[in-house]
Amino acid sequence: MTDFAARAADLITDADRALVRTVDGLGDAAYAEPSLLPGWSRAHVVAHLALNAEALAGVLRGAHVGTPQPMYASAQHRDSDIEHLAAQPAQALRDRLLASTTEFEQAMRAMHDNDWDGRFERAPDGPDFAVATIPLMRVREVEIHHADLDAGYTAADWSEDFVVLLLESMTRRPYPTPFTVLATDLDRSWHYGERGPGAPDEPLVIGGAAALAWWLTGRGSGEGVTCEAGALPRVESW
């Protein structure tokens, strides 16, 4: 297991518990209200999180027994399953989410060291990913989409360990132009994007670590974040 994977795995149980507490605390009518994700209600977010846990648990079980399997039968199946589950009664969503987090954590605990060496597809004939990235994938899904529920939990509630992990992992994404971020509360900086020979100095984006991490996922409008060069660099939504 990589360093990223081990650090992410250590965060999953607490992240799951916090998510389940928030979801259990929602009134039934609140599930139909909008989330922060365009076009998705809170029920859609909860359904996605439950199905994502089940899909990744299936990938882990396949890796454990030496029979690789994709996360989803197809992108269309993934989308239709989310729509179907989101339409179920609130209690069914609560129960499915809790069961799925347990299923995922059990599958992860069953893994042996060499089980993490393989690769898997998101859908058949699609791009493949290292099995060792799954803990990072899952903890980002849980923490970011927990905040997307718009139910009282925000990026400000993320642990410092998760914020640092997210800021580090986001350096691996492509960006239209290079830039550097400085987390003023941690006195740490990270570089994003590729800088070509002779390129001008990179813009410096400054803010608290959690605000920077939220902005880097493409959310909000840059609240709590400033750029010394003026306008903030463009980032894609995660």
CATH number at residue 138: 1.20.120.450
Look at residue 228 in the predicted model and tell me its pLDDT.
Answer: 87
Is 238 part of a structural domain of the chain? Answer: no
Residue 10 lies in domain: 3-153
Same domain, 187 and 139: no
Same domain, 38 and 149: yes
Same domain, 67 and 98: yes
Is 235 part of a structural domain of the chain? Answer: no
Is 221 part of a structural domain of the chain? Answer: yes
Same domain, 106 and 181: no
Asked which of 153, 173, 202 is the last residue of a domain, the reply is 153
Q: Is 70 exceeded by the pLDDT of residue 236?
A: yes
Look at residue 3 in the predicted model and tell me its pLDDT.
Answer: 79
Look at residue 112 in the predicted model and tell me its pLDDT.
Answer: 96
Is 232 part of a structural domain of the chain? Answer: no
Number of domains in the chain: 2
Is 237 part of a structural domain of the chain? Answer: no
Query: Where does the pLDDT of residue 229 fall: very low under 50, low under 70, confident under 90, or very high at 90 and above?
Result: confident
Same domain, 99 and 7: yes
Q: Is 60 exceeded by the pLDDT of residue 131?
A: yes
Same domain, 53 and 69: yes
Look at residue 52 in the predicted model and tell me its pLDDT.
Answer: 98
Same domain, 77 and 9: yes
Asked which of 93, 119, 153 is the last residue of a domain, the reply is 153
Is 203 part of a structural domain of the chain? Answer: yes
Same domain, 24 and 55: yes
What percent of the chain stands above pLDDT 70? 97
Same domain, 98 and 176: no
Tens digit of pLDDT for each residue in 8-63?
Answer: 999 999 999 999 999 999 999 999 999 999 999 999 999 999 999 999 999 999 99
What percent of the chain stands above pLDDT 90? 87
Asked which of 119, 153, 187 is the last residue of a domain, the reply is 153
pTM score: 0.95
| CATH number of the domain enclosing 199 | 3.30.1050.20
Same domain, 59 and 172: no
Is 105 part of a structural domain of the chain? Answer: yes
Q: What is the mean pLDDT of the chain?
A: 95
Tens digit of pLDDT for each residue in 177-213?
Answer: 899 999 999 999 999 998 765 566 789 999 999 999 9
Tens digit of pLDDT for each residue in 160-177?
Answer: 999 999 999 999 899 988
Same domain, 144 and 166: no
User: What integer is the mean pLDDT of 84-106?
Assistant: 98
Same domain, 30 and 138: yes
3-state secondary structure the chain: CCHHHHHHHHHHHHHHHHHHHHHHHCCHHHHHCECCCCCCEHHHHHHHHHHHHHHHHHHHHHHHHCCCCCCCCCHHHHHHHHHHHHCCCHHHHHHHHHHHHHHHHHHHHCCCHHHHHCEEECCCCCCEEEHHHHHHHHHHHHHHHHHHCCCCCCHHHCCHHHHHHHHHHHHHCCCCCCEEEEECCCCEEEEECCCCCCCCCCCEEEECHHHHHHHHCCCCCCCCEEECCECCCCCCCC
Look at residue 194 in the predicted model and tell me its pLDDT.
Answer: 86
Is 234 part of a structural domain of the chain? Answer: no
Look at residue 202 in the predicted model and tell me its pLDDT.
Answer: 86
